[in-house]
Amino acid sequence: MIIYAGRLIRSGYSGFAFWPFIFLRNSSNATPIILNHERIHLRQQLELLVIPFYLFYFTEYLIRRIQYPTWRKAYENISFEREAFSKEGDSSYLRNRKFWAWTSFLACKT
C-alpha cells in the first residue's frame, strides 16, 4: 500500500518503506524505479521480520559511518541500499530474487 506523506519524508528523499507500507513524498515520486526500490526493501524487511531488519540496518549504518567520511557514503554502502539501488531498474528482479540476496552486497564497496 502506498501512502503519500510528504511531511514525514526528509528533504532529499523520495520515500521509504516500512512494512507493509511505502511512504512517498508525493504522487510524482511514484515512478516504477522508486516503487521497485521500495518493494525490494519490503522484501528485505519481510525476510528479516521487520524489527531485526531495522536493527541490522542501523548497526550496518554505524559501521559504514566509521568506514566512510560522509553520512551519504555510509548510507549508500549499506547492503540493503546497495541491493535496492543496483536492482531498482530491473522490473523482474523480485520475481527471480534469491532469499537473503542482500547478503551478497555486504562486502565493502571500493
Average pLDDT of the chain, as a whole number = 95
Burial (CB < 10 A; 0-12, 13-18, 19+), residue 71, is: exposed
Decide if pLDDT at 110 tops 60.
no
Assess if residue 98 is contained within a domain. yes
C-alpha gyration radius of the chain: 14
Distance CA 10, CA 28 (A): 16
Q: What cell was used for 49? A: 521480520
Instruction: Specify the number of domains making up the chain.
Output: 1
What pLDDT, on a 0 to 100 scale, did the predictor assign at position 7? Answer: 87
pTM for the whole structure: 0.93
Single out the residue of 97, 110, 106 nearest to residue 43, CA to CA.
97
Instruction: Tell whether 22 is covered by a domain.
Output: yes
Q: Is residue 110 part of a domain?
A: no
Q: Would residue 13 count as lying in a domain? A: yes
109 pLDDT higher than 70:
no
Residues 104 and 79: their CA atoms lie apart, in Å, by: 8
Confidence class for position 107, pLDDT limits 50, 70, 90: confident
Q: Each residue of 4-38: pLDDT tens digit? A: 998 889 888 899 999 999 999 999 999 999 999 99
Which structural domain range is residue 99 located in?
2-105
